[in-house]
Chain A
Amino acid sequence: MWLRMAWRNVWRNPRRTGIVVSAVAIGIGACLFSMSLSFGVAQQMVTTAIETQLGHLQIHAQGYEENRDLSTRLEDGGKRARAALSARSDIAAFASRVRGQGLLNSPRASAGVRIVGIDPVAEAQVTSLAKSLVQGVWLDGQSPRVLIGERLAKRLQVGIGKKLVLSVQDLAGELTGRAYRVGGIFHAPSSELNSSVVFVSLDQAQSLFGLGEAVTEIVVVAKEDDGLDRIQAELRAELAGVAEVRTWAELQPLLKYMAGAVHQNAYVMYATVFVAMAFGIANVLFMSVHERAREIGVMLAMGMKRWRIVALVVAESLLLTLVGLFIGIAAALLGTLAFRDGIDFSAFAEGLAAFGANSRVAPVLRAEDLMVPIGVGSFAALLASVWPAWRVASARPADSLRRL
């Protein structure tokens, strides 16, 4: 009965209500949709980084934080770690790598590069690098071939089959070089990979650096995105004193921060838009209360409790806002559905690639992203009803009845 009265009050002046509801709906719909695009970029950044390079977890020898080079290595090829990973059922795949630094020379130019030795079979299961090849073929583990990014190939002015010399300092401290042919050219969604990383097979890298059996890292992909902390803790306990286990967020804090910043920006955005809306809602409530001054006076005179009338105003405010909210949310959901294949931002391809995001941005909205505007919106509705409600509460029935 009480809710029905509030509902009727909302629609007493449909035009006025319509305008406020559309303001809320447009505000929320546009906010949510623009947020869904930045969530999309953030999510893409994280998944791209995980899929192309990072994996969910990485295992290194102890002391990795201080020395990220060949001196920190898993001597036996990480047998203990690999055994521990094989025994788990929540691990999808893992692959060993060797990471080093060097100078890559073509007859025309040279470039400082990060060298990554990969196990061709295992690597194809943990990262999407094999899929980003645009020319040539994947490594086979035998022949002395390298994979380089498109930008690096352009810089060095080489194509498939051309010779490159990789100069490095090996484990013994000797400067050494070896010739390779370009086996494949890839286009990864990260500018860093495209311009400064060269991939060779694990065996080639081990012999180039004189590493023997040793590897420098093991990349791990879990079956699920969630629960990494638990896997990390268990692996840590098992490998204590042997190796260190890190999550992608620990390895690339920037990614985690940026994803967090996107959400914080969303909160700021909702807060400002809702404050702006609260003024409009308060205005409508005032008008509605003002029109009904006589009616409210009658209700008071007949002995209706003041708090009930206050509650009526608050309920009106909430109903008004919620109607707008749901229309806005529905519109935003329709929008994300309509653009689920992504919106093309290729004019900003390099800017996005610098953060490892694709130029095709698909909007992303999760259920919990909807809870924030609903929560903030309801709060704004309560806020907006404070002043009008206070007016009603302090009205004197005799005055109200005399009006009009």
Chain B
Amino acid sequence: MPQRIEVRLAWRNVWRNWRRTALTVAATVFAVFLVEMSVAMSAGTHSKMIEDGVKMASGHLTLSGRGYLEQRTLEQFVPASAELERLLDRTEAIIGWAARVSSFALLSFGDRSNGVAVLGVDPARESSVSSLPTRVSSGRFLSSDGRREIVLGAALARDLAAEVGDELLLYGIAYSLETAYELFRVVGILRIPSPDLERALALISLRDAQEFFVYGDRVSEIAILARDAEAGLALRDPLEAALVALGTEGLELYGWAELMPELEQFVLLDRGGMYLQLIILVVVVGFGILNTILMSVLERTRELGVMRALGLSSGAVSRIVYLESMAVSAVGLVIGLALAAPCALYFEQNPIPLRGEFEAMTELLGMEPLIVFDFAPAQVGYVSLMVAIVALLAAAYPAFKAGRLRPVDALRSL
């Protein structure tokens, strides 16, 4: 451990040339501020992307028949089971779950028709896992007791020129491999922030879907929502074990990242790119610290020589240099975090809306045009650790030079 005197010496050296120190501290503050803001922004934006995506698709976890991931046909299903429902209700980490039937069919109105992804949902349960029921832009969502009601994505309705109240023909292949057709009445239109989904999705009630596809009481999938992506991940193993204990043969649990690999990889790529940029920034600032400390050591060659001659060990001299570097960075770190934390917290409450091309772009990508921040205490830890590493690395060369000084040579210089 460094002695008190070493700490005091280091601290005094820091302020020996205030202008130089101020510039170095300013650079550190700038970098710390940007790093903390970027980390908070990426944490917020990415978790929102995942939550939005999960709530438009199949929850954090999806239970279905084996092979669902590759095939997604009516052949993979979950048979009805009261025990399974009880298990899902009983498991605490599950916030909501809903059974669905999912297949494809042709939907036509007048002389127009589109291939659609038909999703049979339980109107009473669906809102516990997905945001789809809240996205109705005109009309209403499916009702629990209504029959042959259908809700369309807005782009799909536009393509078919169908409006609320119109009667459409759904035509598809049932589980029995027979042709199935039935008339459905449009009760609502959904505005979905994903162009592909909005153009392809048609919702009917679970009961109608089971009848239409001659599916009995089977369902294609059970979507399970946890508190957040992390909780979903933690839930997976215990739930899997509970399912095995229940004796459910041929069922499989899928994570959101398996069902939407492109979303997970996009997040990873985006985060990787951001870290790369931040590292470049921090390295540049690190060189600034290196230069300041090195100059400070070289200026003091004579002084250090005197200290060595008076009996200070070479280790102590090196330690003083390290402390000096740590002190400069610590001041920058504290000021930077003190500036960044309130900003990040403010933007956490008030997300930044995007405008112009960026607004159009995020909407086409299926995201809300918002920059969301998420400030977490753990981020302060990461940033501090990073700054500490940079400060130590930057001080390594000057400290080595200072520690290796031979008192005789040092005293002779200047």
B114 and A172 contact, CB distance less than 8 A: no
CA distance A69 to B288 in the complex (A): 61
A266-308 interface with B by 8 A CB criterion:
269, 272-273, 275-277, 279-280, 282-284, 286-287
B10-37 interface with A by 8 A CB criterion:
19-20, 23-24, 26-27, 30-31, 34
Contacts of B117 in A (CB 8 A): 112
CA distance A69 to B114 in the complex (A): 10
A15 and B294 contact, CB distance less than 8 A: yes
0/1 interface trace, chain B 63-92, chain A, CB 8 Å (1 if under) = 000000011111100000000000000000
A257 and B280 contact, CB distance less than 8 A: no
Tell yes or no: A206 within 8 A of B by CB: no
List the one stretch of B98-106, B224-232, B319-327 in contact with chain A.
B98-106
Contacts of B261 in A (CB 8 A): 350-351
Contacts of A26 in B (CB 8 A): 280, 283-284, 287
B364 and A257 contact, CB distance less than 8 A: yes
A155 and B73 contact, CB distance less than 8 A: yes
A283 and B364 contact, CB distance less than 8 A: no
Count, chain A residues at interface, CB 8 A: 69
List the one stretch of A55-63, A103-111, A234-242 in contact with chain B.
A103-111
CA distance A15 to B269 in the complex (A): 38
- The residue that B284 contacts in the complex, of A16, A111, A276, A287, with Cβ under 8 A, is A276
Tell yes or no: A168 within 8 A of B by CB: yes
B263-290 interface with A by 8 A CB criterion:
263-266, 268-269, 273, 276-277, 280-281, 283-285, 287-288, 290
Count, chain B residues at interface, CB 8 A: 65
A283 and B284 contact, CB distance less than 8 A: no
0/1 interface trace, chain A 139-167, chain B, CB 8 Å (1 if under) = 00000000000000011010000000001
Given contacts A20-B291, A103-B104, A257-B360, contact A110 B30 (CB under 8 A): no
B280 and A68 contact, CB distance less than 8 A: no
- The residue that A279 contacts in the complex, of B23, B104, B172, B173, with Cβ under 8 A, is B23
A191 and B173 contact, CB distance less than 8 A: no
B105 and A112 contact, CB distance less than 8 A: yes
CA distance A288 to B409 in the complex (A): 24
Tell yes or no: B346 within 8 A of A by CB: no
Tell yes or no: B365 within 8 A of A by CB: yes
Tell yes or no: A22 within 8 A of B by CB: yes
Tell yes or no: A401 within 8 A of B by CB: no
Given contacts A103-B172, A108-B75, A354-B262, contact A19 B115 (CB under 8 A): no
Contacts of A23 in B (CB 8 A): 283-284, 287-288, 291
Contacts of B159 in A (CB 8 A): 68-69
A1-32 interface with B by 8 A CB criterion:
15-16, 19-20, 22-24, 26-27, 30-31
Contacts of B400 in A (CB 8 A): none
B284 and A286 contact, CB distance less than 8 A: no
Q: Smallest CB-CB separation from A283: which chain B residue?
A: B23
Tell yes or no: B358 within 8 A of A by CB: yes
Tell yes or no: B47 within 8 A of A by CB: no
Q: Smallest CB-CB separation from A102: which chain B residue?
A: B115
0/1 interface trace, chain A 353-365, chain B, CB 8 Å (1 if under) = 1100000000000
B262 and A279 contact, CB distance less than 8 A: no
Q: Smallest CB-CB separation from B71: which chain A residue?
A: A155
Smallest distance from the beta carbon of B251 to chain A beta carbons, Å?
19
- The residue that B71 contacts in the complex, of A157, A257, A269, with Cβ under 8 A, is A157
Tell yes or no: A175 within 8 A of B by CB: yes
Instruction: Give B contacts to A, CB under 8 Å.
Output: 19-20, 23-24, 26-27, 30-31, 34, 70-75, 103-106, 108, 110-117, 159, 169, 171-173, 177, 196, 200, 261-266, 268-269, 273, 276-277, 280-281, 283-285, 287-288, 290-292, 294-295, 357-358, 360-361, 364-365
- List, sorted by A's number, 17 A–B pairs whose CB atoms are closer than 8 Å: A15-B294, A30-B280, A69-B112, A71-B112, A101-B113, A101-B115, A103-B172, A109-B71, A109-B72, A110-B173, A112-B104, A155-B73, A157-B73, A175-B106, A261-B358, A275-B30, A277-B288
